[in-house]
């Protein structure tokens, strides 16, 4: 069973894996599943239909799997699903999903959620994401792999953030951010490509060059970004350039950028 403190409350029905550590005065609800090797700090609440994978580190006073902060929620059974090898720091709050968003909030693998982070209902976070201290991520937000969200940022509901992008600290993001980009500000706008991230990600310089060319064509030509993106989807043979263009073509909330004069 692992190392479970004598003051922890594990409700009947909870499933606790091998080598799990649960700290003092922590409460685990009856529908919770915790995978092997996970550590849960003291004074933590894990409730609802919450499934947590292997080798996660959950620090004290985190609250996971409580009902969504959504006035439309009517008591339906919804889920929180957390993958493997995540670090969830102190006072982080993650709610379950709603019937209007697929019934699930999902956190992938290898993520770092720093202290006082809130992940709202129906959010989908992929893998290797860093969300720094005191960020508020509203419901239905989708964040792709390898994204970094700077501290004290707020992300509006239904926004999408593409892979390997960065949101600068203290930003207020109300629109979508394509992959490989940096945004910051209140309201946040695109500032550049995430060049350091691209250099870490891609060994083939031609991929970086293709992404740079695509970014410049879409956001610096002065033409309609949707029209340019659709043209790139037709003519480009680089999958990452197409990925950037596809995000622009598909956006529902729009892309925040400063238009340059032609």
Q: Which of 27, 63, 170, 52 is nearest to 111 (CA)?
A: 52
Pairing mode, strands 27-28 and 112-113: unpaired
Run of H or E including 195: helix 195-201
Catalytic position from the list 53, 139, 162, 197: 139
The Cα 171–Cα 130 span in angstroms is 15
Largest CA distance in the chain: 69
Is 84 among the catalytic positions?
A: no
Catalytic position from the list 23, 35, 47, 121: 121
The Cα 236–Cα 69 span in angstroms is 43
DSSP per-residue letters across 23-78: -TT-EE-TT-EE-TT-EE-TT-EE-SEEEE-SS-EE-TT-EEEEPPS-TT--S---
Is 70 among the catalytic positions?
A: no
Beta-sheet strand order (sheet of 15-16): 15-16, 33-34, 49-52, 79-82, 104-107, 124-125, 142-143, 160-161
Catalytic position from the list 122, 127, 144, 176: 122
User: In DSSP terms, which residues pair with 49 in a beta bridge?
Assistant: 79
Is 140 among the catalytic positions?
A: no
Phi and psi dihedrals of 177, rounded to 5?
-115, 125
Task: State the residue for tokens 């203290």.
Answer: 170
The Cα 129–Cα 74 span in angstroms is 31
List residues with catalytic annotation.
121-122, 139
């Amino acid at each position: 069973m692992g190392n479970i403190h004598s003051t922890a409350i594990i409700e009947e029905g909870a499933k606790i894996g091998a080598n799990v550590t649960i700290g003092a005065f922590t409460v685990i609800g009856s529908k919770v599943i915790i995978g092997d090797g996970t550590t849960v700090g003291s004074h933590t609440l894990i409730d609802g239909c919450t499934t947590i994978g292997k080798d996660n580190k959950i620090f004290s006073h985190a609250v996971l799997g409580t009902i969504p902060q959504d006035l439309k929620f009517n008591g339906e059974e919804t889920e929180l699903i957390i993958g493997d090898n995540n670090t969830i720091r102190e006072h982080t709050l993650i709610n379950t999903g709603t019937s209007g968003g697929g019934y699930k909030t999902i956190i992938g693998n290898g993520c770092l959620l720093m202290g006082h982070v809130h992940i709202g209902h129906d959010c989908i976070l992929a893998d290797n994401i860093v969300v720094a201290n005191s960020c508020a991520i509203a419901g239905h937000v989708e964040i792709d792999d390898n994204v970094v969200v700077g501290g004290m940022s707020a992300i509006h509901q239904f926004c999408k953030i593409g892979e390997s992008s960065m949101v600068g600290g203290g930003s207020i993001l109300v629109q979508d951010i394509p992959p490989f980009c940096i945004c910051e500000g209140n309201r946040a706008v695109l500032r550049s490509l995430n060049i350091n991230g691209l250099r870490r990600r891609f060994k083939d310089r031609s991929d970086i060059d293709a992404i740079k060319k695509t970014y410049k064509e879409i956001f610096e030509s002065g033409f309609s970004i949707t029209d340019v993106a659709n043209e790139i989807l037709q003519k480009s043979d680089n999958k990452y350039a197409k990925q950037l263009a596809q995000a622009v073509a598909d956006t529902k909330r729009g892309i925040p950028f400063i238009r340059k004069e032609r």
